[in-house]
Chain A
Amino acid sequence: MKPAASALRLQLAHWILGLWLASSVVGALLPSAPTLLVGFSSDALALGAVLLLALLVGVPLGALAGSGPRWLDVTLAFTTDWIAVVPVVLLLAFLRPAGVTPTGGLVLLGLLRSLEVGWVVRSALLRAAVVDPTWAARSLGYMPLSVFLRQRLPAAAGPALAHLALTPLWTFLLDSVGTAAGLGAASSSRSLGAFVTGPLSSVPGAFAAVLAVVSLTWALHRLGRHYGLRLARK
């Protein structure tokens, strides 16, 4: 029963992701697409950029900070502290100079997310370091890099993927609060977050947008656990 339910949930996650992507393509291609569909395509683009940067920058940064030179760990800790004291919405408004391009805005958003993901990876690596059989593995002839790749990185993959899966909710929250505060949406003024708090919003539309974002977060979490962890263990 349990494996069947798990397979069903995995299939549902696939469907949600597929549906989201299809809606995004329709929203991007149709010239007079409804605002909700345009929001889907805008969020998909932002999500892709942020996740890509978080994976390419955040994970290696966290891995290096958790097992590499001390100065990198101290720098990451300081930067995370720095970011932690200011809400991301305000931080984006501070750092985003007037007239920044949409691509520049997305890169900034991605870099901020990378720092958060980097911190989670670093913390997970340090937790894994306490329990990993490094000495035993080394005594068996494993190289430190091999120990790192086979033991610690898979152990850190779980928390990192769980954190990455929250990215749709993260961008949605930033877009909606940024728009409500009058500071502008974090990713795009056509995003779902901006739509929900904007003047064109309606109750069914807002409900559909929130439902879509929550279900995408769940789907990413599910898929991350299934594929991401499997990949990390390999």
Chain B
Amino acid sequence: MTLARAGKLTFRRVFPRLLRLLLTLLAVLIAGFFGAANGAKRLGSGWAYRALPVFVNPSPSDVRERALRAMRTAAGDDTPDARAARAELLRLGGAALPHVLPRLDSLEPRARGRVAVALGPLALRMRVASVEEVATPERALLFFGRFWQDRSIEFRPTTVRRAVERLAERSLTLRRDDVIHADTYALEALIGALGKVRSQADVARVARLHPVLMHITGRGEALPREPSVEQAASAARRWQELWLQEGADYSVLEGPRRIAALATETQFGKWLAQAFLWKLGRTRDGSSVSATVLAAVPSSAIHVLLLQLLAIAVAAATTLVDRSAGLPERARARVAATSASLVALHPILLTLALALELRRGHGGVLSLCAEGLRYGDVNLTMGALLGLTLLSELLVTLPSRLAAAGHAEQGLHEDDE
């Protein structure tokens, strides 16, 4: 068997190294996220997912669970809790109806009336009832009974998706009303239909869907009469962010989706989704994390390289203390040994690099990471950490492994001689 020369890059050496890099990255991200999520607990951190578990969500809640809970509480007397539950029913909107209306009969008559009245404003928002039809508990009950008999068939994913597709193609009053009748039940299909915004055709599609989304959710700002690509893309992104934050409140988690929700309905899952969708997301002040980190990497790389060179120079200089013969050979051996042990030295070199960045006031990835931790900015912390991990791998662990291989090869040659 012929062995590859020490230090030479072969698949057998590179593949385990890459695998280890991935594992290292994963371990760093998990430990880093634990710290970042802890930091984000403070008020004013701007992290929207604080209420979720950090890594595993053993009981992710969906629209069915929320709607039934809200229905039971809203059925009670007029307490603050009942009022909050009625507001929650309105927020959940049309997505809650397939779970609430079929179960109204399970409540006692007065409670049933209270829930029906609470759903009145929703019927108005859906443009399916007049104010008189939902003015009293009796009328509201009668209305919702008939409504569900006539229209329950429309609350199917395929029906709603088709209605949204028609609206995305051309905005007609009838098509718009079809989607508005489904209310938040159509939210997933609507946000999915926004897609990527690159051309004028995409802008026109967003312009057709945006007002409907605003009507259903009661959020967002109207687009200008002729929006630019950037304005449309920004609007689409805001809706997609909303779906990432509250999507589970409007959808049913069943089967594989429920299993996936164990990981996706967590702070880490949300951050990962953000990182993939929007290149690591945005910082607290609204700037792009990927751009900020990329701008900071060269500064940190220079600091770390300078410190490494200093460490190696000090190691070489220590050979001058010993006055025995063969100074160049000893210096070379000392430099090789120091280069090979850079991994052990690296955490301290990085700490010194952080001190340098703090002292000079130049924002490198290290100081960005510290800043993110200090303010509980999860996106910035994780983005900077990702940059730092790749920088460290490139500047330290890979070269030191190669140096170690070279050092070993030198040792073998010396043995041969």
Q: Which residues of A contact B (CB under 8 A)?
A: 78, 80-91, 93-98, 116, 119-120, 123, 130, 163, 170, 173-174, 176-177, 180-183
Contacts and interface: CB of A to CB of B under 8 A. Distances in A.
Contacts of A88: 347-348, 350-351
A83 B32 contact: no
Contact of B397 (A84, A97, A182): A84
Contacts of B358: 177, 180-181
A86 B388 contact: yes
Specify which of B344, B388, B393 lies most central, judged by the most chain A CB atoms within 10 Å of its CB: B344
B304 to A, nearest CB: 10
B288 interface: no
Given A84-B343, A183-B374, 16 more contacts: A78-B24, A81-B397, A86-B385, A87-B350, A87-B354, A88-B347, A88-B350, A89-B354, A93-B373, A94-B373, A119-B344, A123-B341, A123-B344, A170-B348, A173-B355, A181-B354
Given A173-B351, A183-B374, A84 B32 contact: no
A205 to B, nearest CB: 19
Contacts of A81: 20, 24, 343, 397
A84 B396 contact: yes
Contact of A130 (B38, B393, B411): B411
A119 B344 CA distance: 7
B389 A173 contact: no
B343 A90 contact: no
B303 to A, nearest CB: 11
A81 B401 CA distance: 11
B126 to A, nearest CB: 45
Contacts of B388: 85-86
Contacts of A90: 32, 35, 354, 366, 369-370, 373, 385
Interface of B: 20, 23-24, 27-28, 31-32, 34-36, 38-39, 41, 341, 343-344, 346-348, 350-355, 358, 366-367, 369-370, 373-374, 385, 388-389, 392-393, 396-397, 411
Contacts of B31: 82, 86, 91, 94-95
A84 B347 contact: yes
A177 B34 contact: no
Nearest to A173: B351
B397 A86 contact: no
B343 A80 contact: yes
B347 A177 contact: no
12 contacts: A82-B24, A84-B343, A85-B393, A85-B396, A85-B397, A86-B31, A86-B350, A87-B353, A88-B351, A91-B347, A123-B341, A173-B355
B351 A85 contact: no
Contacts of B23: 78
Contact of B374 (A80, A85, A170, A181): A181
Nearest to B35: A94
A85 B24 contact: yes
Contacts of A130: 411
Contacts of A176: 355
A35 to B, nearest CB: 21
A87 B373 contact: no
B343 A181 contact: no
A93 B35 CA distance: 6
- 9 smallest beta-carbon distances between A and B, as pairs: A94-B35, A87-B350, A85-B392, A181-B370, A84-B346, A87-B351, A182-B374, A88-B347, A177-B355
Contacts of A97: 34, 38
A182 B35 contact: no
A182 B367 CA distance: 10
Contacts of A86: 28, 31-32, 347, 350, 385, 388-389, 392
Nearest to B42: A98
Nearest to B341: A123
A119 B343 contact: yes
Contacts of B396: 84-85
B344 to A, nearest CB: 5
Given A81-B20, A173-B351, A116 B344 contact: yes
A83 B345 CA distance: 11
Contact of B34 (A82, A87, A95, A180): A95
